[in-house]
Structure 1
Amino acid sequence: MTMIDREAREQRRREQAGGARRLRDSGVLDDLFAKIDSGEVQLDGRDGLIQQLIKTGLERGLQAELTEHVGYERGDAEAPFHDNSRNGSFPKTVATIAGNVELAVPRDRNGSFTPRLVPTGQRRLGGLDEMIVSLYAGGMTVRDIEHHLASTIGTDISRETISKIVDEISDEVLAWQSRPLEAFYPVIYLDAIVVKVRDGGHVGNKAAHIAVGVDMEGIKHVLGIWVQQTEGAKFWASVCAELANRGVRDVLIVCCDGLTGFPEAIEATWPDSLVQTCVVHLIRTAMRFVSYGQRKAVAAALKPIYQAPDADAAKAELAALAASELGKANPHTIAAFQNAWERFIPFLAFPPEVRRVIYTTNAIESLNYQLRKVTKNRGHFPNDAAVVKLLWLAICNIEDKRALEREKERGKPSRERKAPPRLIEGAVTTSWKKALAQLAIAFPDRIRPYL
Structure 2
Amino acid sequence: MAKSKRKEKSVELANQILENYQPKTVEDMQNALKDIFGPMFEAMLKGEMDNHLGYESNDKNEKETDNRRNGYGKKILKTSAGEVDVKVPRDRDGSFDPQLIPKRKKDVSAIENKVISMYARGMSQRDISSTIEEIYGFSVSHEMISDITDHVLPELEEWQTRPLSNCYAFVFVDCMFTTIRNQYESKKYAVYTILGYTMEGKKEILGLWLNETESKHKWMQIFDEIKARGVEDIFFLSMDGVSGLEEGARAIFPQVIVQRCIVHLIRNSIKYVPSKDYKAFTQALRKVYSAPSLKACQNSFESFKQQWTAYPGAIDVWERNFEHVEQLFDYGSAIRKIMYTTNAVESIHSSFRKVTKKGAFPNENALLKVLYLRIKELETKWEGGRIQNWAMVRNQLLLHEELKDRVLRYLE
Give yes or no for TM over 0.5. yes
| Cα deviations by residue, 1:348-394 (Å, 9 ceiling, x for unpaired) | 211212112213333333332222111111x2123333322211101
**Which of 150, 154, 158 in structure 2 is aligned with 1:167?**
150
| Cα deviations by residue, 1:122-152 (Å, 9 ceiling, x for unpaired) | xx94312111111111111222222322233
After superposition, the Cα gap between the structure-2 partners of 1:397 and 1:39, relative to the gap in structure 1 and judged at 3 Å, is farther
Q: Which deviates more, 238-247 or 334-343?
A: 334-343
Determine the structure 2 residue equivalent to 1:219.
Answer: 202
Q: Aligned pair 1:433/2:391, yes or no?
A: yes
Contact 2:174 2:342 in 1 (8 A): yes
d(CA) in 2 for partners of 1:340, 1:266: 18
d(CA) in 2 for partners of 1:398, 1:184: 22
Determine the structure 2 residue equivalent to 1:331.
Answer: 312
d(CA) in 1 for partners of 2:312, 2:221: 37
Amino acid in structure 2 at the alignment position of 1:450: Y
d(CA) in 2 for partners of 1:375, 1:143: 15
d(CA) in 1 for partners of 2:227, 2:108: 42
After superposition, the Cα gap between the structure-2 partners of 1:237 and 1:56, relative to the gap in structure 1 and judged at 3 Å, is farther
> Mapping of 1:36-51 within 5 angstroms?
39-40=54-55
Determine the structure 2 residue equivalent to 1:272.
Answer: 255
Aligned positions, number = 328
d(CA) in 2 for partners of 1:311, 1:206: 40
Determine the structure 2 residue equivalent to 1:76.
Answer: none
> Mapping of 1:208-287 within 5 angstroms?
208-287=191-270
Query: In structure 2, the residue corresponding to 1:317 is in which secondary structure?
Result: helix
Contact 1:185 1:216 in 2 (8 A): yes
Determine the structure 2 residue equivalent to 1:373.
Answer: 354
- Per-residue deviation, 1:214: 0.9
Q: Aligned pair 1:449/2:406, yes or no?
A: no
Q: Which deviates more, 237-246 or 295-304?
A: 295-304
**Which of 176, 197, 219 in structure 2 is aligned with 1:193?**
176
Q: Aligned pair 1:383/2:341, yes or no?
A: no
Determine the structure 1 residue equivalent to 2:98.
Answer: none
Determine the structure 1 residue equivalent to 2:127.
Answer: 144
Amino acid in structure 2 at the alignment position of 1:448: L
Contact 2:129 2:142 in 1 (8 A): yes
| Cα deviations by residue, 1:265-311 (Å, 9 ceiling, x for unpaired) | 11001101011122223223323443333222112211232123555
- Per-residue deviation, 1:37: 8.6
- Per-residue deviation, 1:183: 0.4
Contact 1:310 1:349 in 2 (8 A): no
**Which of 178, 181, 203 in structure 1 is aligned with 2:161?**
178
Determine the structure 2 residue equivalent to 1:415.
Answer: none
Unaligned runs of 5+ in 1: 1-34, 42-52, 63-93, 106-123, 401-421
> Mapping of 1:377-416 within 5 angstroms?
377=358, 379-398=359-378, 400=380
Amino acid in structure 1 at the alignment position of 2:368: V
d(CA) in 2 for partners of 1:207, 1:162: 25
| Cα deviations by residue, 1:300-349 (Å, 9 ceiling, x for unpaired) | 2112321235556544533432233xx12333321222333344432221
d(CA) in 2 for partners of 1:332, 1:159: 52
Q: CA RMSD in A?
A: 3.2
Contact 1:318 1:334 in 2 (8 A): no
d(CA) in 1 for partners of 2:325, 2:391: 24
d(CA) in 2 for partners of 1:250, 1:273: 7
d(CA) in 1 for partners of 2:111, 2:323: 54
| Cα deviations by residue, 1:205-242 (Å, 9 ceiling, x for unpaired) | 23312211111111111111122333322101111011
TM-score normalized with structure 2 length: 0.71
Amino acid in structure 2 at the alignment position of 1:394: R
Query: In structure 1, the residue corresponding to 2:278 is in which secondary structure?
Result: helix
d(CA) in 1 for partners of 2:396, 2:201: 14
Contact 1:231 1:260 in 2 (8 A): no
TM-score normalized with structure 1 length: 0.65
Amino acid in structure 2 at the alignment position of 1:369: S
**Which of 357, 360, 366 in structure 1 is aligned with 2:341?**
360
d(CA) in 1 for partners of 2:257, 2:335: 13
Contact 1:221 1:425 in 2 (8 A): no
Determine the structure 2 residue equivalent to 1:24.
Answer: none
- Per-residue deviation, 1:425: 5.5
After superposition, the Cα gap between the structure-2 partners of 1:317 and 1:440, relative to the gap in structure 1 and judged at 3 Å, is same
- Per-residue deviation, 1:201: 4.5
After superposition, the Cα gap between the structure-2 partners of 1:155 and 1:337, relative to the gap in structure 1 and judged at 3 Å, is same
| Cα deviations by residue, 1:156-215 (Å, 9 ceiling, x for unpaired) | 322112111111211100101111011011111223332112346432323312211111
Amino acid in structure 1 at the alignment position of 2:232: R
- Per-residue deviation, 1:247: 0.2
